[in-house]
Amino acid sequence: MTEPALNRLGGLIELGAVLDEETLSAELDTLQTLGFSEVYPGDALLVSKKKAEVLSSDVVIFPEGPQVLCARSREELTELRERVEVRGMEIHSAHYNQILPPPGEKADEHFFQLHEELLDRAALLGCRRVTTHPGWMFGVADAQYTGEAAKAFRAGAISLRELHAEARKLVGTPEAFMEMNRVVYREFCSRAAMRGITVTIETAIAEWPELTENPQAMMDFIASVGEGNLGICLDSGHCHFNAVDIASAIRVFDSALIETHFHDNHGLRDEHLPVGEGTIDWEGLISALREIDYLGGVTFEQRDHAQNVKIWREFIRL
């Protein structure tokens, strides 16, 4: 095992609707002091705005009720990258999330142009990877697309998992939904590759549990897409509370595992606790990473930076 990989740490920051210079500087200073080499801006690419706040220059990705999802401005992202790099750190990855058009709509050239806008911004940040949720659809919680299921979800009567199950039915058979994702991922990966970006699929997400809670199914899907820049992002917290054996999953993924979102919980819900404060078997996880000679670096999707560094370094020294 090349130990420097397990010591190359990335820390989560959240930018909010606008960059707060004082808060951002303080958090970046903390990451630098603690020895992080990478910054993971969880909400870098998309920003939610009130419709009245949308400017003519904004790239609108999707209207979301009273809000509008826009691509974050290039100016803000350039400023962020400069603030990170001046402290000797880098931004290697960002959360991309959305991958499919709304239920019932086609993945046409306009749709892929929106992806291009976001991929351009990822490249501007210096990203080498973007993390996606397969099966996610813009508009899935909008009654315009999913009808009564959306209303039930907004009323708290059904879960996000149940909402997406209803959305998938609108596509047709499970095979049809699988093929839709293959087509979109092929095109998306091709466009990402032109920017030197690798695409990862996150494990154990509510949008498509039948795929993402089954490590071998994820590997089969990646093989069927057939693009060399498609891999896996292991979300430890999602796996743990969905009863996916993390160490076994790591061994199945092997070299396809190129990104992590590490956080802890007690196996019941997505608590996003610091490393070591839940019931994840971190020693077993680290042993599996060493077995596959994992080289991807370690990203914590949790903001108690000091605790994550302290406990993680204790674990890797055991």
CB 153 within 8 A of CB 141: yes
Question: What span, in angstroms and rounded, lies between the C-alpha atoms of 75 and 80?
Answer: 9
Q: Phi/psi at 158 (nearest 5 deg)?
A: -135, 160
CA 231, 235, 239 angle in degrees (round to 5)?
115
Q: Is 108 helix (H, G, I), strand (E, B) or coil?
A: coil
> Shortest CA distance to 18 belongs to which of 87, 79, 88, 95?
79
Question: What span, in angstroms and rounded, lies between the C-alpha atoms of 196 and 126?
Answer: 10
Question: What span, in angstroms and rounded, lies between the C-alpha atoms of 144 and 279?
Answer: 41
Span 3-317 CATH architecture = Alpha-Beta Barrel (3.20)
Sheet with 60-64, edge to edge strand ranges? 46-50, 67-71, 60-64
Question: What span, in angstroms and rounded, lies between the C-alpha atoms of 274 and 11?
Answer: 12
Q: Is 88 helix (H, G, I), strand (E, B) or coil?
A: coil
Predicted confidence at residue 118, as pLDDT, reads 96
In terms of DSSP bridges, do strands 93-97 and 67-71 run parallel, antiparallel, or are they unpaired?
unpaired
Predicted confidence at residue 81, as pLDDT, reads 97
pLDDT digits (tens, 9 = 90+) for 182-200: 999 999 999 999 999 999 9
Other C-beta atoms within 10 Å of 276: how many?
A: 15
Is the sign of the CA dihedral 101, 159, 163, 209 positive or negative? Answer: positive
Predicted confidence at residue 18, as pLDDT, reads 79
Predicted confidence at residue 164, as pLDDT, reads 95
Predicted confidence at residue 1, as pLDDT, reads 39
Question: What span, in angstroms and rounded, lies between the C-alpha atoms of 136 and 120?
Answer: 21
Amino acid at 198: T
Angle between helices 21-34 and 305-317 (to 10 degrees): 20
CB 1 within 8 A of CB 29: no
Predicted confidence at residue 2, as pLDDT, reads 40
Residues 6+ apart with CB under 8 A from 75: none
Question: What span, in angstroms and rounded, lies between the C-alpha atoms of 310 and 318?
Answer: 13
Question: What span, in angstroms and rounded, lies between the C-alpha atoms of 6 and 295?
Answer: 8
- Write out the chain's pLDDT in tens, 318 residues: 347 789 999 999 999 887 888 999 999 999 999 999 999 999 999 999 999 899 999 999 988 878 899 999 999 999 999 999 999 999 999 999 789 999 988 899 999 999 999 999 999 999 999 999 998 888 999 999 999 999 999 999 999 999 999 999 999 999 999 999 999 999 999 999 999 999 999 999 999 999 999 999 999 999 999 999 999 999 999 999 999 999 999 999 999 999 999 999 999 999 999 999 999 999 999 999 999 999 998 999 999 999 999 999 999 987
What pTM value is reported for the model?
0.94
pLDDT digits (tens, 9 = 90+) for 144-184: 999 999 999 999 999 999 999 999 999 999 999 999 999 99
